[in-house]
Structure 1
Amino acid sequence: MVMKKLLILHLFLYCLAGNTIAQKRYLPKIESCNCRFLMDSSFVKTAPASLKLSFSTPFEKIDSSFKTRCGYLIVPENRSKKSSRMIKLPFIIVESKNPDKRKDPLLFTAGGPGGSSLSWAIGATKNEIIKDRDCIAFEQRGTRYALPHLRAFDLDLAIKDSYLKNLNKDSMVLVGLKKYKQTLEAKGIDLSGYNTDETVSDIHDLLNVLKIDSVNLYGASYSGGLMTAVLQKDPTRIRSLVLDSPLPIFTPIDEDEPVNFNEALNVLFRHVEQDSTNRQLYGNLKQRFLDYFNGIASKTFYQPYLEKGTSDSVKIAYTKNELLAEIMNAMSNNIRRKEVPFMLTEMIRGHHQVYIQTFLDDLFRKNQAPDGMRISAYCADQSTYHSEDVVRQIYSIYPYLTGYRINDVIKGMCDCWKVPPVKATTKEPYYSLKPILLGDGEMDPNCRPIYIQRINHYMPNGQSFLFINRGHGVGGKDWNDMVIQFLNHPYKRVSPPNEGIIRI
């Protein structure tokens, strides 16, 4: 019996040692380059001609008056596997010209998940932020300029086929997704290595290798939640957070987003009711919208469409879902949003053609299927923690939304993609006294302002601001002015530059 206990203890210690060794088996490295990052050759070679891609990037053209440092962070593709291959993640450091610059740089990474971050470095050279501190743009694993880039076009082709041949769209998505997965895995890509937990470790590895002991994190949308996860993993070097329209890591977005869209429309309807002088055109618009879209919930329409480069038009089937998608696209655009009330009146009158034409043009010309990084990260972050029962409850309350999926990555896709979930602790909210600046637009149809209030609840040294008549991604000069105020004095009360920005 004693020998058995000793054996168990020995095995336990061996496994513990093994885990420790596994955690220390790599040292992140930096490979310097001249900012002319080489794009993933397999992606460039297989991309449609319409994308007009080249193998290199234009970031060497950053304003030459600034000193820049570019390189690749080299880390394992999957830290949980001892035999994992290494991948290369680009970054750009733009140095402030100020001889008395502050020693805490600002690190930015894009939202999505799946957005590219590097072009932000070009914008940073034209921003007042660079006057006080260095700026770092970091490309997340699997995204556009990372090696590898998780992108193939099997899903795009399947979605296009579903429209051209009027096939079941959900079925065709799964057909394309299976081919997509096979294409990526044939390149040796380990899809389970592309998630928020790994990206959090990437950012900390970058800070370690660059020997940065104090940093400010800047994230938007998905990367807003990502940055709070970076803070959670190791808060010691994190000075502050700046989050624009953040998606909290603890939020089940597929359950929320239909309601987010509905709430944003309600804000728009309220403005129309208060501000419009054309009562004949815009009076009672909300009820007319609901009556119409509930009335066409089960209808199928048809529109002739001539794809560019072809000579014969085809009759394409569409439903209220394509119309809602165009409304969503306009609501997400700060310039197009003012067109939405008229767009709704036209749709209610049955004038769909121009909007469906735009939808189909975008579908066939822009290859809009999600990157593999977006699919993997969303599936790892959301699928295990997602409930279809909640979605059905939403549809029962808002019938016009039934069957309309805003996100381009849904649970059925994740069941096929089969990647493990992020750690349960990553999904849990936590408390922190770190200073945080939060902003969101009142008509954001993706991440509602309640999200910045929820983050602020857990981070009481946060300051939250609502931008009137703005949507997802407030950005702009006003926001930049507030960011500079905050970064220079993160515990001091930020003063918004105009009355259209309200502290909440």
Structure 2
Amino acid sequence: MTSLSPPRHPRSPRRLPAALAGATAGALVLGLAAFPARAESGTGAPLGTVARTVGDAHYEPGPCPRTADPVPDLARARCGTLTVPENRSRHKGRKITLAVAIIPAAAKRRAPDPIVWLAGGPGDDAVSEIPMALAGGLDRDRDLVFMSQRGTYSADPELTCPNIDAFNARALGLVSNAPSTGRLHVEATRECRDRVASQGADRSAYNDIESSADYDALRRTLGVAKWNVFGISYGTHLALNYMRLHPKGIRAVGIDGVLPPSIAGGAVTWKAAREGFDGLFKACEEQPACATRYPHLKDTFLRLVSELEARPVTTTVTVPDRPEPVKVVLDGGNLVGWLTSATHVAAGVPRSLDELAHGNPQRIAEQLAGGKYSPQAMGRVAHGLVYGIFCSQWTPYESRADVIRGGRRAFPSFPRSMPANAPQLAWLHDDCRAWDVPAAPPSIRDVTRSDIPTLLLSGGFDAQTAPSNGAYAARTLSRSVAVTVPYVAHVVFADSTCAQTMTVSFFDRPDAPDTRCLAGLRPPAFEIAP
């Protein structure tokens, strides 16, 4: 019921970040040529200022979209809307509208090939991620194109379900893996389904197949001959399908926090948690002050999960702007969920676990509640798109038994009540039965085989999309570079200047991204309690 983007943390307001271990680079296949490309408007006018219809898609310049939070750079953007069929298999079906914002390149002499940004989630709005892209310098000499994926906050229809977000917050006061919690989970999903149905939305049309066609339509209606693609988190999943389904017009692809569609689901989410946690624990072991003050941190965590799953601890915490204290049940499932997100603020993790082991759950409970009750966690995610992808592309091709096996492989010591509910994907098969959409064609799980130059970025502390996913996807991308940035969590571009440097250099020269900064990276200085 949650998206793969990490919940907003009270100390880390960005929506999508990154992670540890020795930096490993995938093999670069030499011989990549320069990649000349043109961004044509058809009239020589700036990109996004000309109305155009191509096939069944129409782009129309217009006002910039509404956003949940202020995005000051929209003041200099060129905006408009893309109108496309909701379901391309129904020739006379209804149309939907997707918001588009184009940020002009900062340099007077811009490169001719823009970059299109694929948002995380699933269900995040690309327009809201403009500040992240600009903070990383992607607009240095290229126009940046942002389009709200179908169903997201600035699209029409907007398929957010605030009741899901409210339930996710309330659920902190419930036992995570109790059957009664599962029943409430499904009730909230049904309410969301009914809300989406009341808007007349075709739930089966919110998936990677239609979204990939939307991006191809946008490129053509903008008059762009070739462009570059940069996707984060779920946006990597979409980018890999987009490369496979509509390769024409793509010059180069950068993906960060890699989730290959061929393995997406609960089992790989368990694997990601194990890899990200192990990376963080290893960094503590290798830092003498941390290893001395918090010895055997991994064993402590595993022991706490088992103890709390058997005997949950209940506490209350204060959340900003809420008059009443918030109840938090700290059990094994919630502890795993906390650490999955807390890798973004890794420096404090050993101290928090040590406090919990000595009977003080407050720091962890406050962080859990602060993330779930944050205003940024309410009404922003398009759950209609989330379930459209999970329930047509994931659960039809991964059984509950597959998820359980994946959980047991990753964490063999965890209690039997835990493996069926992978981090971020609790009660997913039950929810998908309630969502009730047909399975996507089996080809949606095909690996992407391509010679499009691709940079695959992973974080060594990434507990949401496994660091090893980058190398896995790179095996069938013949002109690829896979890099793990150490000591950063999910979506390294958000938190690592090194990752930003590599990404910008990659779009300049897809044959030779600059990875020299990896050699100078150091682990975080872990907090040491007095």
Residues 34-433 of structure 1 aligned to structure 2 (within 5 Å)? 34-35=63-64, 37-38=65-66, 58=70, 61-62=72-73, 68-96=77-105, 98=107, 100-122=109-131, 124=133, 128-159=137-168, 168-277=180-289, 279=291, 281-304=293-316, 317-331=329-343, 333=344, 336-366=345-375, 367=377, 371-397=383-409, 398=411, 399-400=413-414, 402-403=417-418, 404-408=421-425, 410-433=428-451
Q: 1:262 to 1:132 in 2, by over 3 A?
A: same
C-alpha distance in 2 between matches for 1:390 and 1:284: 30
Aligned to 1:50: none
Whether the 8 Å CA contact 1:443–1:472 is kept in 2: the answer is: yes
C-alpha distance in 1 between matches for 2:299 and 2:123: 37
Whether the 8 Å CA contact 1:117–1:140 is kept in 2: the answer is: yes
C-alpha distance in 1 between matches for 2:306 and 2:251: 49
Q: Which amino acid aligns with 2:270?
A: P
Q: Which amino acid aligns with 1:465?
A: V
Whether the 8 Å CA contact 2:277–2:339 is kept in 1: the answer is: no
| 2:52 is the alignment partner of 1:30 | no
Q: Tell me the percent identity.
A: 21
C-alpha distance in 1 between matches for 2:316 and 2:454: 51
Residue 455 of structure 2 aligns to a residue in which SS? Answer: strand
* 1:185-240 C-alpha deviation (Å, 9 max, x unpaired): 11212211111111001000101111111111100111112112111112221111
Bigger fraction of residues in helix: 1
Higher Rg: 1
Aligned to 2:505: 485
C-alpha distance in 2 between matches for 1:358 and 1:150: 28
Residue 297 of structure 1 aligns to a residue in which SS? Answer: helix
C-alpha distance in 1 between matches for 2:107 and 2:322: 56
C-alpha distance in 2 between matches for 1:76 and 1:437: 32
Aligned to 1:467: 485
Structure 2 alignment gaps of length 5 or more? 1-52, 523-530
Whether the 8 Å CA contact 2:305–2:335 is kept in 1: the answer is: no
User: How far did residue 429 of structure 1 move?
Assistant: 0.7
User: How far did residue 383 of structure 1 move?
Assistant: 1.1
* 1:83-110 C-alpha deviation (Å, 9 max, x unpaired): 4211110111223365543221111121
* 1:424-467 C-alpha deviation (Å, 9 max, x unpaired): 22210132111111111111101122111112110121011111
Aligned to 1:16: none
Aligned to 1:457: 475
Q: Which amino acid aligns with 1:205?
A: A
Residue 146 of structure 1 aligns to a residue in which SS? Answer: coil
C-alpha distance in 2 between matches for 1:478 and 1:221: 18
Whether the 8 Å CA contact 1:323–1:356 is kept in 2: the answer is: no
User: How far did residue 260 of structure 1 move?
Assistant: 1.4
Q: 1:207 to 1:154 in 2, by over 3 A?
A: same
Aligned to 1:3: none
C-alpha distance in 2 between matches for 1:264 and 1:126: 25
Residue 73 of structure 1 aligns to a residue in which SS? Answer: strand
Q: Which amino acid aligns with 1:355?
A: I
Q: 1:156 to 1:434 in 2, by over 3 A?
A: closer
Aligned to 1:6: none
C-alpha distance in 2 between matches for 1:82 and 1:234: 20
Residue 171 of structure 1 aligns to a residue in which SS? Answer: helix
Residue 458 of structure 2 aligns to a residue in which SS? Answer: strand
Deviates most, 141-150 or 279-288: 279-288
User: How far did residue 358 of structure 1 move?
Assistant: 3.4
Residue 310 of structure 2 aligns to a residue in which SS? Answer: coil
C-alpha distance in 2 between matches for 1:481 and 1:162: 40
C-alpha distance in 2 between matches for 1:25 and 1:95: 23
Q: Which amino acid aligns with 1:471?
A: A
Whether the 8 Å CA contact 2:166–2:378 is kept in 1: the answer is: no
Q: What TM-score, normalized by structure 1, do the two folds share?
A: 0.82
C-alpha distance in 1 between matches for 2:371 and 2:448: 40
Q: Which amino acid aligns with 1:400?
A: F
User: How far did residue 121 of structure 1 move?
Assistant: 3.8
C-alpha distance in 1 between matches for 2:174 and 2:308: 22
Whether the 8 Å CA contact 1:218–1:241 is kept in 2: the answer is: yes
Aligned to 1:434: 452
C-alpha distance in 1 between matches for 2:364 and 2:271: 23
Aligned to 1:48: none
C-alpha distance in 2 between matches for 1:26 and 1:84: 15
Whether the 8 Å CA contact 1:246–1:447 is kept in 2: the answer is: yes
C-alpha distance in 1 between matches for 2:153 and 2:514: 35
Whether the 8 Å CA contact 2:169–2:373 is kept in 1: the answer is: yes
Residue 229 of structure 1 aligns to a residue in which SS? Answer: helix
* 1:68-126 C-alpha deviation (Å, 9 max, x unpaired): 32111001111122342111101112233655432211111211111111144455556
**Aligned-residue CA RMSD in angstroms?**
2.9
User: How far did residue 127 of structure 1 move?
Assistant: 5.5
Q: 1:301 to 1:89 in 2, by over 3 A?
A: same
Q: Which amino acid aligns with 2:57?
A: P
Aligned to 1:14: none
Whether the 8 Å CA contact 1:96–1:130 is kept in 2: the answer is: yes
C-alpha distance in 2 between matches for 1:363 and 1:128: 30
Q: 1:408 to 1:290 in 2, by over 3 A?
A: closer
C-alpha distance in 2 between matches for 1:446 and 1:314: 26
User: How far did residue 280 of structure 1 move?
Assistant: 5.1
Q: Which amino acid aligns with 1:30?
A: Y
C-alpha distance in 2 between matches for 1:72 and 1:273: 52
C-alpha distance in 1 between matches for 2:250 and 2:274: 36
Q: Which structure's relative contact order is higher, taking Cα pairs within 8 Å and 6+ residues apart?
A: 2
Q: What TM-score, normalized by structure 2, do the two folds share?
A: 0.78
* 1:133-180 C-alpha deviation (Å, 9 max, x unpaired): 221112111111111111123334445565668782111011111111
